[in-house]
Amino acid sequence: MTTTVYIGLIQSDLHAMSAFEIISSHTDQLVALRRYRTLSFVTNAPVGVCQQAVAACFEWVNPNKSRFTMNVGPWESEVEKPIVIRVQPTVPMRVSIPLPFKTLLPDVDVVTESVSWVFYVKDGIEANQVLSDWVISTQRGVGLLCNPIFESADIVVG
Amino acid sequence: MTPYVAVIQFPGSNCEYETARVLSHFGCNPKIIRWNEPDLLQDASGYVLPGGFSFQDRVRSGVMASHLPIMAQLSAGIKSGKPSIGICNGCQILAESGLLSESNHDQIDLGMAKNMSGHTSIGFVCDWVYVRPVHPEKSPLLRYFTPNDVLPIATSHAEGRFVLNHVLEARLSDTPHWMYCDERGQSGDFPITPNGGAVAGITAYSGRVLGIMPHPERAIFDWQLPWHFKHRTWTSSWEKLIVAFRELL
């Protein structure tokens, strides 16, 4: 069975804090914002082996952060219901795979990278609205989280 | 008041002093101005946005700085014809502000994407490369260069790949700009091109504004060049850029 593994990595909150400040200057509907770096790959290996491989390469994955999750985004454990929007380059961006990872998962040739923005919004705000107004907008003052010239965005949870 | 060039220091700039030193050497009277002193831009005769990591490159390089209030003053000055150079992070800030694409409609039409080799992210690249000017005669900032010039230059960035929308892409062949090349002036893939795109710098506003990703201020003096360049005789040098800039002030 082929399994797609997502590794959500808690990223420095500074990205989200700065973006939050700018978006909040345009709207009062945004309550909180988080940012995760997401790597995904497809493998036939059991989940346990995947975890082992990723753990062995944690330095490569994210050298100075404390944890990662697999298969489900880290936002799944949040109490409030989030809207999650993934931003990725229009040309899928691959990251090079280090040797320990490759040894444990020899069938993985490509690991693609994206960024997941997790929005906590006031009641009544829909994911589509978040996507069009705050993420994919081509308005220079607003289009902060995704540059539509070389990135695309889609709703993961919402 | 003596005319001066504003070298704008953003939170995280790290090349402002070496840039000011080069400007000073060529008689441009630089003055380092902080991002929160927009009023001081008004009397400046020209602007230089130095390299660095403004706001720690949060979200993407240059985008946070492009939302600062000082950008309104900078934009007004550039549109009034004052010459401007953005180097590395300064180039990214100009791009994110729409000042490299002359956006009149507030729409995003140019981006600085991550360095790539094929589809693979190659991260931060710090190296010596070569560039050549295209249509230098059309830009007052590049007018002392010739199309045959090949110049060594230090490159040092992670997000330096110019991505243009179809309108700018079509216009590029007529726009004065800089291309990466080898020492004979020929194009090539990585590492000749360090970011996956052939363009190293672009001019705007009739060639009076230049955004360039590599660092001219690190390749102006002989002592800055690595030893393996020194046995060569160069037909041009980056001082031509600064001299042309000074004459526009």
Other CB atoms closer than 10 Å to residue B91's CB: what's the count?
28
Q: What pLDDT was estimated at residue B7?
A: 98
Instruction: Tell me the domains of chain B and their CATH numbers.
Output: 5-248 (3.40.50.880)
Asked about B135 being catalytic, the answer comes back as no
pTM for the structure as a whole: 0.92
Mutate to test the interface with A, among B57, B94, B108, B190 (most CBs of A within 10 A): B108
| pLDDT at residue number B217 | 95
In this predicted structure, the answer to whether residue B85 has a pLDDT above a threshold of 70 is yes
What would the mean pLDDT of B219-243 be, rounded to a whole number? 77
Interface of B with A (CB under 8 A): 55-56, 58-60, 63-64, 66-67, 97-98, 103, 106-111, 113-114, 116, 119-121, 163-165
**Which stretches in chain A have pLDDT values below 50?**
none
Is there a contact between A138 and B63 if contact means CB atoms under 8 Å apart? no
Distance CA B217, CA B195 (A): 20
Among the partner-chain residues A18, A22, A149, the one whose CB lies closest to the CB of B163 is A149
Which has the higher per-residue pLDDT, B15 or A99? B15
Å between B142 CA and nearest CA of chain A: 28
Residue B93: strand, helix, or coil: helix
Handedness of CA B228, B222, B14, B189 (dihedral sign): negative
| Mean pLDDT across B163-190 | 93
Residue B230 CA to its chain's centroid (Å): 24
- The pLDDT score that the predictor gives to residue B79 is 94
CB-based contact B202:B175 (threshold 8 Å): yes
Instruction: Please tell me what DSSP assigns to residue B220.
Output: S
| Average pLDDT of the segment spanning B71-83 | 95
pLDDT at A52: 83
Give the range among B68-72, B94-98, B100-104, B163-167 with minimum mean pLDDT: B100-104
Those residues whose C-beta lies under 8 Å from the C-beta of residue B118, and which sit 6 or more positions away, are B196
Q: Is there a contact between B116 and A93 if contact means CB atoms under 8 Å apart? A: yes
What residues contact residue B232 under an 8 Å CB cut-off, 6+ apart?
none
* Contact in structure between B201 and B132 (CB atoms under 8 Å): no
Q: What is the pLDDT of residue A79?
A: 74
Mean pLDDT, all residues of chain B: 92
Pairing state between β B151-157 and B125-134: antiparallel
Count: domains in chain A? 1
What pLDDT shows up at residue B135?
Answer: 97
Pick the catalytic residue from B15, B88, B91, B181: B88
Model pLDDT, residue B50 = 98
Task: Determine what percent of chain B is predicted with pLDDT higher than 90.
Answer: 80
User: Could you report the per-residue pLDDT of B139-166, keeping only the tens digit for each?
Assistant: 999 999 999 999 999 999 999 999 999 9
The three-class DSSP label of residue B163 is strand
Contact B121 A96 (CB under 8 A): yes
Q: Residue A13 belongs to what domain range?
A: 3-157
ipTM: 0.85
Percent of chain B with pLDDT over 70: 95
Pairwise CA distance, residues B43 & B47, whole Å: 11
